[in-house]
Amino acid sequence: MCGIAGYFHLDGSPADRASIERMVSALKHRGPDAQTVHLDGPVGLGHARLSIIDLAGGHQPLFNEDHSIAVVCNGEIYNYRELREQLIRKGHRFQTGSDCEVLAHQWEESGPGMLALLRGMFAFILYDRRQGIVFGARDRFGQKPLYYYQGQHRLAFASEIKGLLVLPEISRELDPLGLDQFLFHQFVPQPRTLFRQIQKLEAGCSFELRLPTANRNSSLHRTDELESQQSQAVSAGAGAIRFDTSALPTESPIERSTFTIQKYWRPTFAPDDSLSRSEHLTRVEAALMDAVQSHLVSDVPIGLFLSGGIDSSLITALASRMNPEPLQTFSISFPGSEHDEAPYARTVANTFRTRHHEFPFAPADMRQALTAAATLFDQPLADLAVLPLMALSQAASEHVKVVLTGDGGDELFAGYRKYKRTTGIPGRFRWLSQFSNRLFPISRLAACGPDRIGWRKLQSRLAMVLAPACRSEYQRQSWEGWERFALYRPELSEFIGCQFDSLGQSGEHSTVLSPLNAALELDQGTVLADRLLLKGDYATMAFGLEARAPLLDHQLAEVASHLPINLKASPQTTKIALREIARRYLPADIIERRKKGFSMPVDRWFRGELRDWTRSCLLDDSVTLPRYFQRGAIERLLSEHAAGQNHSARIHTLLTFELWSRAYAS
């Protein structure tokens, strides 16, 4: 686990050390143990390390035998031991025990096909000097982030946007379309960011940069340290996106660079009705146990985030059986709240005799907590659950470097209430749900525009009833299209127009899937990476903590994809298969209790103790108001909320954007 950075001069000029050092320094919180840079002709690579595997020898970059291939990686390759043994039998020689060294050697054997062999969470950048190729990828579900900037003279990548903003040629100019999507979704969907010049490599995607042939024989520069204590670091695709990255005019076409992005993996759904219920459950249980076992590989102690829900409790149960020593578990409590799940977490911890740590969440200064949450993310995320997750991550990091989480269980096994609605569509309306994208296109319903007679609002409400799959994408609690139209300054509304990219518009298979699987495809392919996993990565890595999600193991996901609908959800029950398996390991009261959503009394806070501060942030001292918004719209929103209407989600979204802008866009 770490932070990575890389930039590549497209005109063949040598990379400069100062630029890559600044990029790595901006990522130091992700890898506090050591920071390194590596220069090789036009290529600069950087790495900030959090030591998890091969503590002494796993410094990056890592190389093949003759150092013609260098790689920096953020994440873990869980099946590296099997791959390593296969590569050794083929004659490869390894210099370290690091899991990521297999990437350099596997590239020699398989090229881009190596991605199909990898089991893990990762974002990596690899440079093959012989071929003049820079290659990289993100893992299938997007557990590890990777952002990039494509300019006239160089291409740059980093684990966080912070690592790119230090480059002087990158502007902090905002993308208005990204802002429009943020105010609707409460996150910015891939591949956009809020910065016009910065993009996010999508989950399950790889990239390839072919440098001019004249650069392939450049000399290898020594890897240097930024900290003295570190020793020298000894598919199926779906249409590539191609960009012309030629720099200055050249004498021959062979000197031009090309940059290609390829989708190498996407969620699939192929319900298998030939297997019995018990056979399906046996396959899921075996795959689940294998996933947990694979995620326990580490040279440092591992803990678990334990909420008391089915997902994290089941992971705790299985991991405790596999680990000879008692594991440490960590949970957050909300004293006095009806949503406090700490008693359930204690029940699970006592059942499996873990060394349990419980931390009460009661920030003394909510203004400071909201500001810290908004500024932690260089890609804004209006999710209040970030606050306790940051507190839990900070506390857990004082005890362990690695935690397992239950992330992904709801998205893989249909755990949200909205999934129940997709299975309970009345027969006379079922045909409508099959054509929901055509009848109720989100790109039209959610687009910025007026609604003078209420027709758009009526359409959106009909979509919620007649095509429940739309619930996966349409966010009523945030700023709907006509509300954003009234909020924006006229020139911004005119610029945005009716442009709105639907999350599901790239899901070519959605029209042939059942409503439930169409909703799962959308959540697994986009929402999971841009909301839940972004939240988890930033909140844990801010404190040098590695979070692993066994339920997002792609082999387990493949088994889950074959489950029939009646083992996923029904109008009465969610997560049917996982519940059946959990009954074999967990106390009954953990299985039967109703799922609790996270909530805090922000509606009351925005009327009470945070009222004056919120008004000051959004009106009197705002940096975003004069640029983007109409004062009257915000004043009306705050007045209505103070009078009793609940606009807390909209206020929090605006507040997140304001606080984020002060840190990154001002």
| 277-364+371-413+515-592 has the same fold as 2-263 | no
Residue 32 predicted with pLDDT over 90: no
Range in 105-114, 226-235, 499-508 with the lowest mean pLDDT: 226-235
Residue with tokens 């942030």: 617
Domain 277-364+371-413+515-592 falls in which CATH fold? Rossmann fold (3.40.50)
For the domain covering 2-263, report its CATH number.
3.60.20.10
| 535 pLDDT tier (thresholds 50, 70, 90) | very high
302/311 Cα distance (integer angstroms): 17
Range in 301-305, 507-511, 534-538 with the lowest mean pLDDT: 507-511
Report domain extents, the chain.
Answer: 2-263, 277-364+371-413+515-592, 442-501, 601-666
Between 261 and 460, the higher pLDDT residue: 261
Give the Å distances, CA to CA, from 65 to 126, 542, 564. 15, 34, 48
607/642 Cα distance (integer angstroms): 5
Q: What is the pLDDT of residue 504?
A: 62
Tell me the average pLDDT across 136-158: 95
Q: What is the pTM of this model?
A: 0.90
CB 27 within 8 A of CB 228: no
Residue 239 predicted with pLDDT over 60: no
Q: What is the pLDDT of residue 366?
A: 86
User: What's 91's DSSP letter?
Assistant: T
Tell me the average pLDDT across 193-204: 96
What is the three-class DSSP state of 497? Answer: coil
Select, from the ranges 208-222, 296-310, 402-416, the one with the highest average predicted confidence (pLDDT): 402-416
Taking the CA of residue 109 as centre, how many other CA atoms within 13 Å lie in the half-sphere pointing to its CB? 19
| Start-to-end Cα distance in the chain | 31
Tell me the average pLDDT across 123-151: 96
Tell me the average pLDDT across 166-179: 95
Between 213 and 303, the higher pLDDT residue: 303
Which of 69, 119, 64, 112 lies closest to 91, judged by CA?
64
* Percent with pLDDT over 70 in the chain: 86
In three-state form (DSSP H/G/I as H, E/B as E, the rest C), the secondary structure along 22-46 is HHHHCCHHHCECEEEEEEECCEEEE
| 444 pLDDT tier (thresholds 50, 70, 90) | confident
CB 629 within 8 A of CB 489: yes
| 242 pLDDT tier (thresholds 50, 70, 90) | very low
Q: What is the pLDDT of residue 31?
A: 80
Tell me the average pLDDT across 243-268: 64
Tell me the average pLDDT across 588-610: 82
Between 57 and 470, the higher pLDDT residue: 470
499/173 Cα distance (integer angstroms): 19
| 365 pLDDT tier (thresholds 50, 70, 90) | confident
